[in-house]
Structure 1
Amino acid sequence: MTRLSVNINKIATLRNARGGNNPHVVQVAKDCEHFGAEGITVHPRPDERHIRYQDVVDLKDVVTTEFNIEGYPDERFFELIALAKPAQATLVPDGPDVLTSNAGWNTVAHFDYLKEITSRLKALGTRVSIFVDPDTQMVEHAAKLGADRVELYTEPYAAQYHQNREAAVAPYIKAAEAAKAHGIGLNAGHDLDLHNLAYLRQNIPWLDEVSIGHALICDALYYGLENTIQMYRRQLELI
């Protein structure tokens, strides 16, 4: 079974645009779970342009499924993980000036650094996932440094999907097979939507989790949040 983790960053973006607390981030997280989400993902950034650090604190005792905190592993990230004790910490190599995640870690070049970071996070009791490009070497070294999972960066897949979906998914299948061969779990995320999600799942049926935010929240404007979450769940059930 592939779990759907809903990234609620865009809910926080909407709230922050007006001030106040509408929409209410914590309530939306609870509603997402009630509507069928199997996890909640947040990515607090240093400028707090969407999810704020206080949101993580407020969510830590509310999320009843799997809480996934993404981010660049600076000291404040470690403090949040130690405080919130999420089910999963996902390491993303984007600095504070990056608008959105746009590349995976080079687990070869940053092997020693990531090995130390991973060890520190696992000592806090959280599962560690490393955001990587669909490259078998990156997956192999993520496994060697001690990561529990990798999250495949799927924007290139989404960008090519409508032109040649077989070519688009091919490197992801190879990367997924490498993850299986090295005994680590497999997540995926970035630009997955109602058009391309089922095909990815069909080709990688052992996919553990997808994290989806932007497209899901956009779809919810038309279909409603409850219906949209169920629509995404159904895409993950198609084999």
Structure 2
Amino acid sequence: MITSILVTGEGSSDMGGSNNGQPISTGEFYNLGPMALLAVRLLRNILPTWNEEYLDFQLPTEWITCISGNELANQTKTLGKHRPSKKIQKGYSEHANRASAMANYAQQYGHQLAIYFHDTDKGDFDALRDALQLGFSSGDNVQGVPMLPKPTSEAWLICGRKQNPYAHCSTLETQLSGNDAAAAQNAPKKVLAQLLGLEVGVEPTTEQQYAEAELIDVTRINMPSYNQFKTDLTSAIEVICGHGTARTL
């Protein structure tokens, strides 16, 4: 049964964060981010109906705790370090270490599920996911789920906003750039801004992205990076709640 979730991300525009300056936040002190909301909405569609009784989906901040990336980095100092190896490509060991710290914290404080958000940007999706899974494997009784939009979270939101919503969204992963400084037709933030009718040079705010995460149909997004998150989340739910209990979309 899932009653408590731990999340981490890159900042307020994805998983959200503390509103009182603390590295770990929950309840009234946690501002839910757009991607955290999307994860909550997807979770509700996959979670077995009997588990819904134990989670108030109107107040997800009551059962979600957010831990900052900096805090995870601090906690890795007291844990064994992952080094580049056959299992971890060079440049990804930091993520494995943070995932280990996250699994350790989740286990210590009774969170059954941990979701680690990070934009793929210009990195290697498989290498990043492999590093996170290796890090998560150090935690007993905790299921870790990588949430890795490719190239960035805006691409997922663009899928539901473009001229033909939800159609051929997989192409966004190769057409869009992981560089915010890219040309207007390739930079995810700029493309989303255009779709929202914002002035040139104005980027979507966290609040505007949150509104998009509220409106998007989480069951219709069809992109490799999103589908992998959905698959990993489903697998985690089945380990926690029992094989065959997760609902299919």
TM-score interval for Structure 1 and Structure 2 normalised by the shorter chain: 0.3 to 0.5
- TM-score, normalised to structure 1, is 0.33
Normalized per residue, which structure has more strand?
1
- TM-score, normalised to structure 2, is 0.32
